[in-house]
């Protein structure tokens, strides 16, 4: 399994070039969104691992460990996103970008919280729509 640190490092490398071409403000917001995307990927992977471990041996120590790791991932990702949101919002003066970022965060948080329920089609669509709107607002800023 790829560690969260590896995923975050990869995201930072991928978005560093793009952030240099954009304004510093957009770079902060793009970095925020990139880390949220990585959090989703990481927690989604952990959710699938927890399901597999539970399917193999429902009451095993391994199943309990992977479930704990998954819940820790959700908790940590949610906390980090909430703490970093004010900095991302304050990095822009555009009301449209601020509104798009708030909508993005709300959709991301709802989707993150539903990863293990297998009912996230609508929440995933809402998240992807909010992400696209944020991208458009950043491009038009």
Q: How many domains does the chain have?
A: 1
pLDDT score for 2: 54
Percent of the chain past pLDDT 70, that is, above it, reads 81
Once rounded to an integer, what is the mean pLDDT over residues 61-90? 94
Q: What is the pTM of this model?
A: 0.78
Q: For position 121, what pLDDT does the model report?
A: 85
Domain span holding position 82: 4-140
pLDDT at 22: 47
Could you tell me how far CA 130 lies from the centroid of its own chain?
Answer: 12
Residues 88, 32 contacting (CB under 8 angstroms): yes
To the nearest whole percent, how much of the chain has pLDDT over 90? 62
In this predicted structure, what is the pLDDT of residue 95?
A: 95
> Angle, to 10 degrees, between the axis of helix 95-113 and the axis of helix 24-56?
10
SS3 3: coil
Q: Minimal CA–CA distance to 74: which of 32, 104, 31, 117? A: 117
């Amino acid at each position: 399994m790829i560690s969260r640190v590896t995923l975050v490092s990869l995201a930072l490398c991928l978005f560093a070039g793009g952030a240099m071409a954009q304004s510093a403000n957009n770079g902060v917001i793009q970095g925020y969104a990139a880390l949220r995307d990585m959090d989703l990927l990481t927690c989604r992977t952990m959710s699938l691992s927890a399901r597999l471990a539970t399917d193999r041996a429902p009451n095993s120590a391994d199943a309990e460990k992977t479930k704990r790791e998954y819940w820790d991932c959700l908790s940590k990702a949610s906390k980090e996103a909430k703490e970093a949101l004010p900095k991302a919002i304050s990095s822009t003066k555009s009301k449209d970008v601020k509104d798009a970022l708030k909508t993005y965060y709300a959709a991301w948080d709802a989707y993150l919280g539903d990863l293990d329920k297998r009912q996230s089609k609508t929440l995933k669509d809402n998240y992807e729509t909010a992400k696209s709107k944020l991208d458009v607002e950043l491009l038009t800023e």
